[in-house]
Amino acid sequence: MTLVAILSLLIMIFLLILFFVIWFWINLSNKSPYYPSIVKKIQSLVDDKEISISANTKFVDLGSGDGRVVFYFAKLNILQADGIEINPFLSLLSRFLKTVLRLKNVKIYNKDFLKHDLGCYNLVYMFLIDNQIDKLLEKIKQEKKNSEVIVISNTFQSSKFLPYKKVDTFYFYKI
């Protein structure tokens, strides 16, 4: 092995370790670490008309991970499908996938969802643990415009708001 090859290998190992250190640091400092939804389960909800979609639907996934749920809804030809993700690697990945999939109605924001105005959305999805749900439901209630907002929380439920239905692992709220 030449010196250049050894150096390249060492640099690659260093970058790989750096990536994992940053990844774990971001996830540990997050209240809700990354764990993807099973899109087939969401698709069943839409197929069974548990979630109603129209051309005017403005959807957002709060903590959108790699964007899989956002892309699923965007492909249903709704007006807008947004994702808000605090992890810069996941935001970058989902922006890349958005470009590859050529989805025009998608926007991915790399930010804290608590700093994003949620007033324009009428369909909200989240897969987040503990008290983040209550904070977000309060925020949606304050920021929403006149129309009703449907919020779907995967697995975790609010301790303040009552769901109007539960299907599979999904809690549905009307705000």
58-77 residues in contact with ligand SAM (CB under 6 A) are 61, 63-65, 68-69
Q: Which of 8, 11, 31, 96 binds ligand SAM (CB under 6 A)?
A: 31
User: What type of residue is 99?
Assistant: T
User: For residue 1, what are the CA distances in angstroms to 6, 59, 120?
Assistant: 7, 54, 59
Q: Which is nearer to ligand SAM, 57 or 87 (CB)?
A: 87
The residue within the footprint of ligand SAM, chosen from 12, 15, 112, 164 (CB under 6 A), is 112
Residue nearest to ligand SAM (CB): 63
* Segment interacting with ligand SAM, rule: CB under 6 A, options 31-39, 44-52, 74-82, 156-164: 31-39
Asked whether the CA dihedral 74, 104, 94, 144 is positive or negative, the reply is negative
Minimum CB distance to ligand SAM smaller for 64 or for 158? 64
Question: From CA 81, how far away is CA 107, in angstroms rounded?
Answer: 7
Kindly tell me which of 30 and 157 has the beta carbon lying closer to ligand SAM: 30
Strands 80-84 and 106-109: parallel
Question: Site for ligand SAM (CB under 6 A): which residue of 80, 81, 85, 108?
Answer: 85
Q: Which of 51, 60, 90, 137 binds ligand SAM (CB under 6 A)?
A: 90
Binding site for ligand SAM (CB under 6 A): 30-32, 34-37, 61, 63-65, 68-69, 84-87, 90, 112-114, 127-128
